[in-house]
Amino acid sequence: MLSRTAENLYWLARYVERAEYLARTIDATLRVTALPAAYIGKTNEWDSALLTAGVAASFYQQYEEANEHNVVDYLSFSTNNPSSIRNCIEAARLNSRSVRTALTSEMWDTINSAWIELQAAWSKGASTREDLAKFLRFVQETSLRFDGSAYRTMLRNDAYWFSRMGVHLERADNTARILDVKYHVLLPEEEHVGGPLDFYQWSSILRSVSALTAYHWVYRETLKPWLIADLLILNDTLPRSLASCYGNLVRNLDQIGVAYGRQGPAQRHARGIRNRLEHSNMNDIFQHGVHEFIQEFIADNSRLGEIITKQYLI
């Protein structure tokens, strides 16, 4: 297929995944901040939402204060934030338009309808909390529909694999980022271990990667930082864990390698990361330092993005 088509499919999937992740982050932050002050502690949750989205620096160039109004606006609707939900959907639509021939009509319809709704209903943002909740649901449903229609309607060929690689690469990045921002909460040495504050902080992490229920099913335990980190990093049954994302990335890259009859640095690099995840345990990771481990992972992950681009997309 055309390199440009593959590139567009890959980025289209990334934009949709990112939009969903942002919606989940805002949703989870709203829940935590709705709690009485005693439960939240002194951390500014809106500030950490900006950090997990990776846009804190650009935010402060335009706003003084990271409060609900400003952050929600910046992450959801701002046209000045290149990775706001609005811009993600706009970019997804533009990408879809340039690869229409590679999309199934269901996928196109999902993105086009979302774009039409964005213009029609959300051009002025959300005026109330109810409105905002509706918007966040709309974004999450769009992503689910997009994913579902890709899964159900696309031919299993390189177009599908490039699109899935976009999903998993973006997802791994998002999960890693939220872990990184909240890693101090996960450290058992922190002073208010076991306090109510931690409980809500942890549950908000899990909520933002839609893993709260999953946690209970997997561990049948109260929320423990150790296990949360285990779930998000090493447990490959959780679709948003780093291990699961890399299981999928390796598989997609292998499928492409087989179809094209040759492998390259992207396959090798992805396998390397997957192997590291497979052979790690939480003990080592905590010893080594969660922050350091995640920082390395984020760098490795974005390096894979560059390698894929070089090998296939240009």
Note the residues at the interface with another protein (CB under 8 A): 1-6, 94, 97-98, 100-101, 108-109, 112-113, 116, 158, 162, 256, 260, 312-314
- Of 6 and 150, nearer to another protein (C-beta) is 6
- Of 73 and 106, nearer to another protein (C-beta) is 106
- Which amino acid is residue 93, in one-letter code? R
- Of 100 and 192, nearer to another protein (C-beta) is 100
Q: Which pairs with CB-CB distance under 8 Å and at least 24 residues apart come from 278-287?
A: 278/243, 280/233, 280/234, 281/234, 282/226, 282/229, 282/230, 282/233, 282/234, 285/229, 285/233, 286/188, 286/226, 286/229
Q: How far is the CB of 2 from another protein (least distance, A)?
A: 5
Q: How far is the CB of 1 from another protein (least distance, A)?
A: 6
- Of 116 and 299, nearer to another protein (C-beta) is 116
- Of 6 and 139, nearer to another protein (C-beta) is 6
3-class DSSP assignment, residue 124: coil
3-class DSSP assignment, residue 54: coil
Residue 34 to residue 218: CA distance in whole angstroms: 28
- Residue 83 dihedral angles phi and psi, to the nearest 5°: -110, 35
Q: How far is the CB of 100 from another protein (least distance, A)?
A: 4
**Contact, 146 vs 282, CB < 8 A?**
no
Describe the crossing of helices 290-308 and 242-260 by its angle, rounded to 10 degrees. Answer: 20
Q: H helices within 41-84, ranges in order?
A: 45-53, 56-62, 68-72
- Of 168 and 177, nearer to another protein (C-beta) is 168
Q: How far is the CB of 186 from another protein (least distance, A)?
A: 39
